[in-house]
A and B are shown apart, each in its own frame.
Chain A
Amino acid sequence: MRNLLQGFKNIIKRILQAIKRRMKKIGIGWAFIIPALFFITLFVIIPIFYSMFLVTQSCRGIVCESNFTGNIDKLMGDVQFRQVFKNTFIFFIVQVPIMLTLALIFAVILNNPKLRFRGVFRTAIFLPAVTSLVAYSVLFKMMLAPEGIMNTAISFIGISPIGWLTDPFWQRVTIIIALLWRWTGYNMIFYLSGLQNIDKEMFEAAEMDGANKRQTFFKITIPQLKPIILFTAVMSTIGTLQLFDEPFNIIRGSGTTASTMTLSQYIYNLSFVYIPNFGYAAVISYVIMIIAALLTIIQFRIMREEK
């Protein structure tokens, strides 16, 4: 009986010790993540909940009133919102496919081991991605000014000066060129690393079977790169929806902003340029979030079906 009791005690003791050890481990774990958790709560989680509250507010500076339906009504009748939505989509639809195609072509060319000075080309094409957004925007603005280097250059071949920064159509072209210059190399790097992960034996086998370059590209390279293409497509989609720096730095102050103002720039204007209305700006932010989620789901679906 005593032995039994002693045994029981021992078991309890062991269990307690195990719990204690376990708690110690957990405690250390928590100690590690609590600082991060604290900051995430402060700067991410609380703002997210606060933005949910803001959606129900209609503000004028620091004077706010509860008006959720008013915000939705305003969104429905907001002609400027429609315009910036259209602008953002024009950038998205025109720029993303051109950029990803170019990036893929560059990657395939630069992946060829027979090509000389590969390192130089790779660096040159990737370099724009590490320049400061503001610095390159200012340079583009200078080059594309009415009497800038670009218009001077085209005047030599007999083309009359183009209103790169002032004409509503050419403003969009300017932004798309700037985006292509800045981001093509960035996406190319993903494709390059993807290409290097494709088993060389596959290409050799294809060659043995008499497949030509084109067939190899479409039947081997592209299918193998699919996950990376999906990744770059999703990242570029979200990136375009958040587009802000280029229209803000290149166009603003030079020409009218109607044809290049993006959703993000509209949020900025609603918050800091017009009479600040954080409530309505939060509504537009949620619209962007929903669009980004929908587009990403669509892209995942397309990729899965093709599998």
Chain B
Amino acid sequence: MKKVITLLFVAVLILTLSACKGKDADFSDGKITIWAWDPNFNISIMNTAKGIYGDDVEIIIVDMAKGDLETKLHASLSTDGDLPDIVLIEDYMAGKYLSSYPGKFADLSDSIDHSKFIPAKVAIGTFDGAQYSVPFDSGVSGMFIRNDLVTDADVAAASIAGVTTFAQFVEAEITWDEFIAVGQAYTARTGDAFMANNFADGGLFRTILNSTQSWYTNADGDFEFNGNPGVEEASRIYKEIYDAEVMFNGTSTEIYKAATDWATWVDPLGNGDVATVTTGVWISGTVKSTTANSGDWTVMKTPRADITGAVNYSNLGGSSWYVLADGDVDESVAFLKAIYEENQDNFYDTILINNGAIGSLISAASSTAYTANDPFFTNTAIWNDFALWSALIPAIDYGFYTYEADEALMNAMPAFLDGTSSLSTFLNEAEVAAKSKVE
């Protein structure tokens, strides 16, 4: 009896100890594990890369929701948990990860030639003088508009100087107020929304903010909302959109469709419930996924904020690949270098055509795929436009805390939108909340 118990006890101990066994330091198993999000974009692009690179190495691509990936990455990095070899990190988050987990990401300064990539993009993945990223896609923004739904009359109703027809409109550099005026005419005529927006999400806010050449922070890197012209203007535009109601069939109708998550924001793009979307170029893959709409979409420049210094070029999102120092660094770097730096088999042309991805490799933009006309977008060279616009995006140092600022602003915003707090009260409140998050 005693022996049995002792045996059992030893067995349990051995099991536990083997379960507690740390990860092997030497992790060269001929496999590369990659974490990324968005099956229509990043995942699809990595699958293309995998196809080009061949079968020498087994590449495992794991698709996760973006928020889940970020949470899992934080948890694994701070507890030595399960980590991939390569991970996709959004540009807004890069500084946060690099500064919070020193030594966890592989220094790629010597293994990747960063001079071949757009400098602003390289700067985002640079920390303490070392380059950690393999720069990936640009988040250059544009306004996608349905040419079969919006009419000359809608455009004319907005009385924009020198613009009376739809054809003139899509070539024009408009302001957000002009955008709203066209939207009001459109909604008053059709009863449909002109755009979809999730007012709890800061995406559109950041798009507007980036185009004003400012960010959530001042020159010292501290949060500054109140008295920050860019933040004030972006807030004003949010409220203008929120308040822009028109009468349709006797009922007051909003020009926007309230989205509550990614799906409710994206679905109207396919079924004609909204006529425009203003966001990063990465949405083009989703727009094109409804093939029935081919020829119905046109792309124009991003609307501009109505303050000095604001331009019709902006950025939303965009991300880069990072290699984990504890993973299989050599194999991962060899793979990323072949595809993303050396453009094996014209990789960038393929992902441009298939996914609408504007890469950050400078030489790739001069390929013929960029100047080709896309039949989906009324046979215009939209990729060439996006590539040109991406060079004109105001360069911004996003700092470490974009999402902390975002959350504080969006949490305080409902009271501003429904009119219970003034602009300065709202911004003060958000600023205090944001600062308390990072102190």
Cβ A80 vs Cβ B414 within 8 A: no
Residues of B255-271 at the interface with A, using a CB-CB cut-off of 8 Å, are 258, 260-262, 264
In the complex, which residues of chain B have a beta carbon less than 8 angstroms from the beta carbon of A80? 433, 436-437
Q: Is the interface of B mostly helix, strand, loop or mixed?
A: helix
A27 and B1 CA atoms in complex are apart in Å by: 12
A275 and B289 CA atoms in complex are apart in Å by: 35
CB within 8 Å for A165 and B260 given contacts A61-B101, A258-B412: yes
Task: Decide yes or no whether B126 CB sits under 8 A from chain A.
Answer: no
Task: Decide yes or no whether B77 CB sits under 8 A from chain A.
Answer: yes
Residues of B41-78 at the interface with A, using a CB-CB cut-off of 8 Å, are 67, 70-71, 74-75, 77-78
- For A166, give its contact among B99, B101, B200 (CB under 8 Å): B200
Number of interface residues of B (CB under 8 A): 46
A278 and B74 CA atoms in complex are apart in Å by: 11
- For B71, give its contact among A31, A39, A74, A273 (CB under 8 Å): A273
Nearest chain A CB to B406 CB, angstrom units: 11
Cβ B261 vs Cβ A274 within 8 A: no
Task: Decide yes or no whether B413 CB sits under 8 A from chain A.
Answer: yes
Q: Which residue in chain B gives the minimum CB-CB distance to A35? A: B12
Cβ B414 vs Cβ A63 within 8 A: no
Residues of B1-54 at the interface with A, using a CB-CB cut-off of 8 Å, are 1-2, 5-6, 8-9, 12-13, 16
Q: Which residue in chain A gives the minimum CB-CB distance to B401? A: A275
A246 and B334 CA atoms in complex are apart in Å by: 44
Most buried by A among B77, B411, B412: B411
Cβ A62 vs Cβ B102 within 8 A: yes
Q: Which of A113-121, A205-213, A232-240, A249-257 contacts B (4 or more CB under 8 A)?
A: A249-257
Q: When each residue 380-409 of chain B gets 1 if its CB lies under 8 Å from chain A and 0 otherwise, what string results?
A: 000000000000000000001101100100
In the complex, which residues of chain B have a beta carbon less than 8 angstroms from the beta carbon of A78? 436
A-B contact pairs, 19 of them (CB 8 A): A34-B9, A60-B99, A61-B74, A62-B77, A62-B78, A62-B100, A79-B432, A145-B260, A145-B264, A146-B258, A163-B258, A253-B262, A256-B200, A257-B407, A272-B71, A273-B74, A276-B74, A276-B78, A276-B100
Which residues of A come within 8 Å of B, CB atoms?
27-28, 31-32, 34-35, 38-39, 42, 60-63, 74, 77-80, 83, 145-146, 163, 165-168, 253-258, 271-276, 278
A-B residue pairs, 6 tightest by C-beta: A61-B100, A258-B411, A254-B260, A31-B5, A256-B200, A272-B71
**Other A-B pairs beyond A60-B100, A74-B439, A80-B436, 14, CB < 8 Å:** A28-B1, A28-B5, A61-B97, A61-B100, A62-B102, A163-B258, A165-B260, A166-B414, A254-B260, A271-B75, A273-B71, A275-B400, A275-B401, A276-B100
